[in-house]
Structure 1
């Protein structure tokens, strides 16, 4: 495996703390003087990427990481323990499951009406939607958010729940439960309003707009202020963005698999990238 130059720094830069941390973490490396610079080498590009991110966070080393490296590795917490550690993530999913039961996964239109973006009535083969202005004048403000709790079918619910569990836990553990609540509500509002404004009155719902918001938040935040919590598994971002583009082609409607709330997905993603940009820049400034 060929050596890769991770850092090229002036000779006056003090690397002793960072090098000591690499030694404590048992990261193979060497430092050499070349052309009036000190160059840090590691074996392989994959390790080089991780060391660069580590230097971006801890250029002077970290006693906390050094102590953590000396401790024996603990086993992963069980499912019940993870629920206790992530009450907001678990709570949102619990509410979503309750709504799914109440609405019979979208089959009970009388209860679906309680959570839709605007109220509606079904007469014969036609569905009639109230206007957004009438909805707001009636004080039914909760409808701006509640469509994110609606799901139409078990697969729709299962996929969205799994992704919210994965992304929600990351944000709750790194930025706290209040931040996850705020982001969930913001992305829910952004995605619902975007879908209504661009798609017109229709029956839509699901956590997918929120999920794309959480995805965008982790993506941009991690690019600006690298951290282990927001580093998504390889291929996840590409897969999610590719799925978004495929849905936007209209192929699922053509194959009569049902309509996709593409505007909600895009609205959530744009909002998530915006919050990730602000949060990442603030975290980078603090460092």
Structure 2
């Protein structure tokens, strides 16, 4: 059976205790160093999946003697600590959701929207981007990705950022995830503004499509375990994007979808995935 990569970790991570755990469990494995990373190999993908789950729960190799509830709690806390940028972004998003009352508190939202606005009676008056930048309000270029309208909007975006963000953070590091999040946020916000003009929009979904495109094409060029997406996820998200672009949700008055933000994030994510995958393939 051909060996497959179970884990890729920075050289400073101490794997000694975890490798001792694998030895106690009689799991065949070997560790190599490649491109400044330590790579853990095991025979076969099914075993690799089990090793990844084991590491997520017991990175320090301390599996013995723990009750299931305590082990699950410890594994979740360790996952938070092991993905600092993912955790910080989701924490900031939850904080903004609380401050904005999930899109109901316009007194706070008007400070975070892409351009400022004021409500007068039944009308909303928006500023323009030039005026916003002239006033030094540069934070608005990014903050719309933190605004969410409703619990479902927040829950879905937070879930997929947790799924995709942790993959990138594990494979390319926290600073790469932070950089990609900011780049995709900018791309999504500018795309939506230039397509629809001054308006109120928000959410992490443009960033999520960027992360999706990045993982997808990076994996195509430089296959790795971390960027192997769950079965059907790519088809599901692209199908959802196409469905939203038909305008059916606006027609049914269910919600206004920022389709241009999704497309802008996806296009830039595909570009970064191509570049990153090509570089990774060249290093191999």
TM normalised by structure 1 equals 0.76
1:79 to 73, 76, 83: 76
Q: C-alpha distance in 2, partners of 1:102/1:267? A: 27
Structure 2 counterpart of 1:197:
194
TM normalised by structure 2 equals 0.77
Structure 2 counterpart of 1:124:
121
CA displacement at 1:76 relative to structure 2: 4.0
Q: C-alpha distance in 1, partners of 2:95/2:80? A: 17
Q: Do residues 139 (structure 1) and 115 (structure 2) align?
A: no
Structure 2 counterpart of 1:258:
255
Q: C-alpha distance in 2, partners of 1:260/1:64? A: 43
CA displacement at 1:128 relative to structure 2: 0.3
Q: Does structure 1 retain, via aligned residues, the 8 Å contact 2:56–2:79?
A: no
Structure 1: segments with no counterpart, 5+ residues = 1-20, 26-57
Q: Aligned with 1:114: secondary structure?
A: coil
Question: How far does the alpha carbon of each residue in 1:124-163 deviate from its partner, in whole angstroms, 9 at most, with x for none?
Answer: 0000001110000000000000000000000000000000
Structure 2 counterpart of 1:152:
149
1:275 to 257, 272, 277: 272
**Where in structure 2 are the equivalents of 1:223-234 lying within 5 Å?**
223-234=220-231
Question: How far does the alpha carbon of each residue in 1:157-198 deviate from its partner, in whole angstroms, 9 at most, with x for none?
Answer: 000000000000000010000000000000000000000000
Q: C-alpha distance in 1, partners of 2:42/2:153? A: 44
Q: Does structure 1 retain, via aligned residues, the 8 Å contact 2:56–2:78?
A: no
Q: C-alpha distance in 1, partners of 2:232/2:43? A: 32
Distance change in 2, residues 1:259/1:66 (3 Å): closer
1:188 to 185, 190, 193: 185
Q: Do residues 212 (structure 1) and 209 (structure 2) align?
A: yes
Structure 1 counterpart of 2:246:
249
Distance change in 2, residues 1:131/1:75 (3 Å): closer
1:65 to 41, 56, 61: 41
Q: C-alpha distance in 2, partners of 1:169/1:151? A: 21
Question: How far does the alpha carbon of each residue in 1:220-256 deviate from its partner, in whole angstroms, 9 at most, with x for none?
Answer: 0000000010000111000000000000000000000
**Where in structure 2 are the equivalents of 1:91-106 lying within 5 Å?**
91-106=88-103
Question: How far does the alpha carbon of each residue in 1:91-112 deviate from its partner, in whole angstroms, 9 at most, with x for none?
Answer: 0000000000001011010100
Structure 2: segments with no counterpart, 5+ residues = 5-33, 58-74
Larger radius of gyration between Structure 1 and Structure 2: 1
Q: C-alpha distance in 2, partners of 1:147/1:63? A: 38
Q: C-alpha distance in 2, partners of 1:203/1:67? A: 51
Q: C-alpha distance in 1, partners of 2:189/2:268? A: 12
Q: C-alpha distance in 2, partners of 1:235/1:138? A: 45
Q: Aligned with 1:202: secondary structure?
A: coil
Q: C-alpha distance in 2, partners of 1:86/1:137? A: 36
CA displacement at 1:65 relative to structure 2: 1.6
Q: C-alpha distance in 1, partners of 2:226/2:276? A: 14
Structure 2 counterpart of 1:43:
none
CA displacement at 1:63 relative to structure 2: 8.7
CA displacement at 1:67 relative to structure 2: 9.2
Q: Aligned with 2:253: secondary structure?
A: coil
Runs of 4+ that moved beyond 2 A: 66-70, 72-76
Q: C-alpha distance in 2, partners of 1:102/1:228? A: 38
Q: C-alpha distance in 1, partners of 2:254/2:109? A: 20
How many residue pairs end up in the alignment? 230
